[in-house]
């Protein structure tokens, strides 16, 4: 895709690009590592030094606290006493795995690290090292009636969310598609801000909040339908609490569903050579919404950046 001419200057790195130097360094030091795994860690950092450090920390964690047997052992209290706190659902149309977290099932009698371990166990079940699959985490804050519901205030689960926020971005980089928290009363937005403050800008942008009533057995907010979710993607035990969702993708969304910004994946690809001398970019233009460019690097990774500096600003595509 490259065009001849003057060699351009360097383009500023962004958190969502996968610099060739990062990939080269990781492949040199870890030639037997799965390609998809190496790509994720290369994408998660700006420099080879930081990418190598991140991957070393990951391997160290996997050999100790993050070993499958250790995670299973630590998650045992949750699996035995709160098995429906976090459960696997179906897959979205783009292949992402849905994970449902029912916050009102959180018990302060179980150590927060046991809950974190259970989340890791679930992710390891569906996220293979050599795949690029991601997850969509649904955090249902509504209370419930019957066994298994503790209905503690949202502040009770903050230690768990802090521990999760400090682990997942580094040990499972580029695995999160989005987190949808619903329904969230106005007073609880401060708690979400506290969690966001502990995250990097890329992960922070993936947290979506739907406001609403979180009382016991409150109806599911219709705004959840805007994320193209269906009942068959919700774990079976929780489907009765999500009846607002269409039964399957072929059915229309219910009246009153708010419009959400369209996915940029639906727009046609326009090749625009960038100012990066080594890597060209396939730019998906979103002219109707005037959103930032989304760049598909040669590695296949998608990167949202503030701007793309074309090699030829007079090109018709620009």
Assessment of whether the complete model's pTM goes beyond 0.85: no
Question: What integer pLDDT is reported at residue 300 of this predicted model?
Answer: 43
pLDDT in tens, 149-196: 999 888 888 889 989 988 999 999 999 999 999 998 877 778 788 878
Question: What integer pLDDT is reported at residue 261 of this predicted model?
Answer: 53
Q: Residue range 90-102: average pLDDT?
A: 94
CA proximity to 214, closest of 151, 159, 138, 256: 151
Residue of higher predicted confidence among 317 and 174: 174
Angle, alpha carbons 86-90-92 (nearest 5°): 115
Question: What integer pLDDT is reported at residue 91 of this predicted model?
Answer: 95
Task: Give me the residue label for tokens 């070993």.
Answer: 67
pLDDT higher than threshold 80 for residue 219:
yes
Residues 6+ apart with CB under 8 A from 125: 88
Could you give the CA distance from residue 101 to residue 195 in angstroms, rounded to a whole number? 16
Residue 313 is given by DSSP the state T
Tokens of 223: 């705004």
Question: What integer pLDDT is reported at residue 196 of this predicted model?
Answer: 81
pLDDT higher than threshold 60 for residue 282:
no
Q: Residue range 108-134: average pLDDT?
A: 95
Instruction: Band the pLDDT of 260: cuts 50, 70, 90.
Output: low
3-state secondary structure of 318: coil
pLDDT higher than threshold 50 for residue 284:
no
Instruction: Band the pLDDT of 252: cuts 50, 70, 90.
Output: confident
Could you give the CA distance from residue 114 to residue 150 in angstroms, rounded to a whole number? 17
Strands (E), 69-119: 86-91, 97-102
pLDDT higher than threshold 50 for residue 276:
no
CA distances for 38 relative to 63, 96, 155, angstroms: 17, 20, 37
**Which of 146-150, 154-158, 254-258 is the most confident on average?**
146-150
Q: Residue range 231-257: average pLDDT?
A: 91
Q: Please give the helix or strand (H or E) that residue 123 lies within, else none.
A: helix 112-126
CA distances for 273 relative to 29, 42, 264, 304, angstroms: 31, 22, 19, 16
**Which of 9-13, 21-25, 272-276 is the most confident on average?**
21-25
pLDDT in tens, 286-303: 444 444 444 444 444 444
């Amino acid at each position: 895709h490259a065009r001849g001419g003057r060699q351009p200057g360097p383009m500023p790195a962004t958190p969502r690009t996968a610099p060739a130097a990062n990939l080269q360094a990781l492949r040199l030091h870890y030639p037997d590592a799965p390609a998809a795994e190496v790509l994720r860690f290369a994408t998660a950092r700006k420099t080879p030094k930081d990418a190598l450090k991140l991957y070393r920390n990951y391997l160290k964690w996997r050999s100790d606290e993050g070993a499958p047997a250790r995670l299973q052992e630590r998650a045992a209290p949750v699996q035995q006493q709160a098995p429906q706190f976090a459960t696997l659902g179906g897959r979205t149309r783009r292949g992402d795995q849905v994970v449902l977290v029912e916050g009102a099932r959180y018990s302060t009698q179980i150590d927060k690290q046991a809950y974190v371990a259970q989340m890791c166990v679930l992710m390891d079940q569906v996220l293979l090292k050599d795949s690029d699959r991601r997850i969509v985490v649904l955090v249902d804050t509504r209370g419930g009636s019957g066994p298994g519901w503790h209905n503690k205030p949202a502040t009770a689960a903050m230690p768990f969310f802090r521990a999760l926020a400090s682990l997942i971005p580094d040990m499972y980089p580029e695995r999160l598609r989005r987190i949808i928290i619903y329904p969230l009363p106005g007073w609880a937005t401060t708690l979400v801000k506290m969690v966001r403050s502990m995250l990097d800008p890329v992960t922070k942008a993936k947290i979506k909040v739907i406001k609403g009533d979180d009382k016991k057995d409150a109806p599911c907010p219709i705004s959840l339908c805007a994320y193209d979710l269906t009942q068959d993607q919700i774990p079976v035990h929780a489907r009765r609490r999500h009846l607002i969702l269409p039964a399957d993708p072929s059915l229309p969304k219910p009246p009153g569903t708010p419009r959400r910004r369209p996915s940029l994946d639906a727009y046609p690809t326009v090749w625009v050579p960038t100012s990066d001398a080594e890597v060209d970019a396939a730019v998906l233009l979103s002219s109707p919404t005037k959103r930032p460019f989304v760049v598909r690097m040669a590695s296949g990774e998608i990167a949202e950046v503030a701007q793309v500096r074309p090699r030829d600003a007079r090109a018709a595509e620009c």
